[in-house]
Amino acid sequence: MKSPITTIGFDADDTLWHNENLFEDHHNKYCQLLSEYHDAETVEKVLYETEMRNLELFGYGIKGFTLSCIETAIHLTQGEIKSEEIQRIIDHCRHMISHPVELFDDVEEVLRNLSSKFQLILITKGDLRDQERKIAKSGLAAYFDHAEVVSEKTAESYARVLERTRVPVKQFVMIGNSLKSDILPVLNLGGHGIHIPYRITWEHERVDSTPHEHDNFYQIESISQLPDLIDVIAIDSII
């Protein structure tokens, strides 16, 4: 039996505002910093391996990323990296944390539109303090009925959020740029997922295929297309 859509969930980073472009910029500077020791491909490969090894302990976010950058630099230089070079890594990462929140075009207009018709929930993962800072600086907090910062986005974590907010999963639509974190877990629970790809996808967030055949899966090019699609999904959910 179909259920009417009542609640829309939004990812934050690279869905409402730019984020991965800051990491891209840092990676370029980081590889340049270590260029006298190793080529960029080696630096990127070892850094990613270090990040994955540290992920369970440090979690997602710039602070954990900074520690992985320093550890990788020490390893790749066999301890010869200079203190001023480590300071440059820290300064680069501090700049990422303090960088202004840059919203995508039309985000506020879309949230204003949808918040008048649906309950909106913000569901993001990462460092709690950094995510709370970005939410506050974005100016978007007032459009959301509820906000959650989770350590990992799994079917179980989404189920807990929906249970706390008393939202039946069949009445829930999740919007995000990551198929792995934002879309697939919700589809597996029985909800709806709308994918808005970002131009950069972190390797850890990549999946082998897109679930185009799934009845509850949708994909659009920009958030400006979201209200019209939500109207279609809302109508289909009650017919």
pTM of the model: 0.92
How much is the average pLDDT of 38-65? 96
Instruction: Please give the Cα distance from 132 to 205 (Å, whole number).
Output: 22
83 to 67, 76, 88: CA distances (angstroms): 14, 15, 9
Whether 105 shows a pLDDT value over 60: the answer reads yes
54 to 57, 61, 69, 159, 175: CA distances (angstroms): 5, 12, 11, 26, 28
How much is the average pLDDT of 146-159? 96
**pLDDT tens column, 107-117:** 999 999 999 99
* Domain annotation for the chain: domains and CATH numbers: 7-17+102-236 (3.40.50.1000), 20-98 (1.10.150.240)
